Amino acid sequence: MPHTPTAWSTASRGAPSRFDFIALLLVLGLLAFFAEASRGVLAPLTTLDASPVTLDPHHLPMYAARTTLRMLAALVLSLLFTFTYATWAAKSPRAGRILVPLLDILQSVPVLGFISVTIVFFLSLAPGKVLGAEFVSVFAIFTSQAWNMAFSFYQSLRTVPVELTEAARSFRMSAWARFWRLEVPFGMPPLIWNMMMSMSGGWFFVVLSEAVTVGKTTVTLPGVGSYIALAIEQKNLHAVGWAIATMLVVILLYDQLLFRPLVAWADRFRFEQDPGGVPPRSWVLEALGGSRLIARFLRQLRHAARAVGAAIRTTTPVVIHIEAPDHGKQLDRIATGIVGALLAMALWEAVKFLAPELGWHDIGMTLGLGAITGLRVFLLIGLASVIWVPIGVYVGLRPGVARIVQPIAQFMAAFPSNLLFPVVVAGIVTWKLNPNIWLSPLMILGTQWYILFNVIAGAAAMPGEMRHVASNFKVTGWLWWKRIALPAVMPFYVTGALTASGGSWNAAIVAEVASWGDEHVTATGLGAYIADATSAGDFHRIVLGVVTMSLYVLLINRLVWRPLYYYAERKFRLS
């Protein structure tokens, strides 16, 4: 149950209160934010050259607003993608055999690969306008957010308790009602934690997403990412400091205004409620819950939703219960066939594109570089797991600690590795260190938090009865970890580790090539190969590198992470 059970029911009665005033300020502030952040998106592209990005800190609030709006737009698109793609993959075993490996491939494709393929299409949607470049940037950020959320929701749909599914069948709920009344609420708490991670992970690639390149022309959008890129290019440490401070303020704001209210709201959807636990709280949610104006608006919205639902039930009662399954299977076969055909066509086109220009030597070299990068990824994921799994369980079982850790972890997850380039490059050059070793931690700097956030979500979802039984029987030490903690968080951990692994491959493009002004340090690996090919404009080598990286991620996921995931799923159901 929500922490203010009577707020929404009593807010519509009586005179306006301070909650109405706070809610009005929040709504007006949100409208002002959207208006300011979207200014100039319909202007010609030439306006960007007339007012280029500068390192003047007075422009940082506007840059931060533009970047935040792009990330929020990408987050909304990621939610839509999650509810459709992950649901289809979880509900249809036939489609899942294609969609899940395809998701593995998509999360391994570098952001640069998505930008180079889609840039012409998105710019053509708004020719000569800034809006076209904004589309490219939002899509690039979307590719750094969506896959993690889709994996999380897919895992939730696969682990819905059997008793809840049977209860839905007993009430003869339609597939639509079961999805919104059972499956989405059940998957909402871990999904929100992964939304936090996705939003923070978007900062990691924001530098790449705000510089749109068309041939030899680069369109730089105003934002924090382009500000950071300019600061690195000019070796301006003061500007880097201002960028870090701005990121901290932005992360704290959307923690207070977006994610903390969502965490408090989603607490009512926990499958098990600990009677002695203290539910999370949010002053924004309490203000909205106590607002008379917001309550009236929500009441009208509920009436409209009920009217739409009643119209659907009265017009299509037979289709929902009788004809839908066969029709759905037919559509599922058709859609699965279309996806399979598209994948085959894409593979054939890639082979035709690469074969005339590249030989077996190039293929062998990229496979060898991929093996080196893969070794780094495995070592780093193992090290991060040893560190963050115990910490995540500790934090997830203590809501008070989680409220403190949440914004700190968000900031650390959002911290782009580019901002550490001055220290890393200077240290490697000064002490003549091996870049193959000392650049490696940058690969997991942002992706290790996928493990922490998912383990926190899994520990927070651990049934209270399980903890109380363990306490009553005095189950402690390694036995507690083996029988209680690890089985409960295992599906969440595998989801986080799988996503962290794919994200680390993607981050290799940034981490294996570090620059600070005119100084460049490069590690041997597939990420550096793709980054060098991108700088040289060698599209054939870019495609070969991306295909090789996707192949490695697909094989590792199918041979390592997928079997481990299915094992964890069985352990979760048995527990």
Dist. CA 113–CA 165, nearest whole Å: 41
Rg, the chain, Cα only? 25
Tokens representing residue 277 in the block: 């636990």
> What percent of the chain has a predicted confidence (pLDDT) above 90?
16
**Torsion sign (Cα): 336, 337, 338, 343:** positive
Q: Residue 272 gets which letter from DSSP?
A: S
Note the pLDDT of residue 14. 53
Per-residue pLDDT at 319 exceeds 50: no
DSSP per-residue codes, 205-249: THHHHTEEEETTEEEE-SSHHHHHHHHHHTT-HHHHHHHHHHHHH
Per-residue pLDDT at 246 exceeds 70: yes
Of 3.40.50.300, 3.40.50.2300, 1.10.3720.10, 3.40.50.1220, the CATH number of 44-270+277-290+357-574 is: 1.10.3720.10
Tokens representing residue 79 in the block: 């939610």
Tokens representing residue 52 in the block: 């280029």
Contacts 24+ apart (CB under 8 A), 570-575: 571/487, 571/490, 571/491, 572/159, 572/487, 572/488, 572/490, 572/491, 573/159, 573/162, 574/487, 575/466, 575/487, 575/488
For the chain, give the mean pLDDT.
80
Per-residue pLDDT at 375 exceeds 80: yes
**Highest mean pLDDT out of 104-113, 321-330, 514-523:** 514-523
Note the pLDDT of residue 11. 47
Note the pLDDT of residue 332. 60
Dist. CA 497–CA 384, nearest whole Å: 9
Dist. CA 370–CA 524, nearest whole Å: 10
Which helix (H) or strand (E) segment holds residue 519: the answer is strand 519-522
CB atoms inside a 10 Å sphere around CB 309:
13
Q: Is 355 exposed, middle or buried (0-12, 13-18, 19+ CB in 10 A)?
A: exposed
Tokens representing residue 483 in the block: 């029988």
Tell me how far the alpha carbon of residue 459 is from its chain's centroid. Answer: 20
Per-residue pLDDT at 113 exceeds 70: no
DSSP per-residue codes, 487-531: HHHHHHHHHHHHHHHHHHHHHHHHHTEEEETTEEEE-SSHHHHHH
Tokens representing residue 559 in the block: 């041979």
Question: Angle formed by the axes of helices 360-396 and 486-511, to 10°?
Answer: 140
Contact 389, 451 (CB under 8 A): yes
Note the pLDDT of residue 2. 43
Note the pLDDT of residue 328. 53
Contacts of residue 413, defined as CB under 8 A and 6 or more positions apart, other chains included, come to 196, 197, 200, 201, 203, 204, 446, 449, 453
Angle at 99 between CA 137 and CA 364, to 5 degrees: 75
Note the pLDDT of residue 309. 60
Contact 69, 141 (CB under 8 A): no
Give the pTM: 0.77
513 beta partners: 522
34-90 pLDDT, tens per residue? 777 788 788 888 888 778 889 999 999 999 999 999 999 999 999 999 999 999 988
Per-residue pLDDT at 527 exceeds 70: yes
Average pLDDT over residues 320-332: 50
Average pLDDT over residues 444-464: 84
Which has the minimum average pLDDT: 24-28, 234-238, 385-389, 511-515?
A: 24-28
Please name which of 305, 525, 514 lies closest in space to residue 421, comparing C-alpha atoms: 514
Which helix (H) or strand (E) segment holds residue 514: the answer is strand 513-516
Angle at 278 between CA 298 and CA 152, to 5 degrees: 65
Dist. CA 569–CA 575, nearest whole Å: 10
Note the pLDDT of residue 5. 44
Note the pLDDT of residue 382. 94
Tokens representing residue 316 in the block: 């299509």
Note the pLDDT of residue 388. 94
- For the chain, the structural domain boundaries read 44-270+277-290+357-574
Note the pLDDT of residue 567. 79
Note the pLDDT of residue 289. 75
Please name which of 52, 205, 218, 200 lies closest in space to residue 123, comparing C-alpha atoms: 218
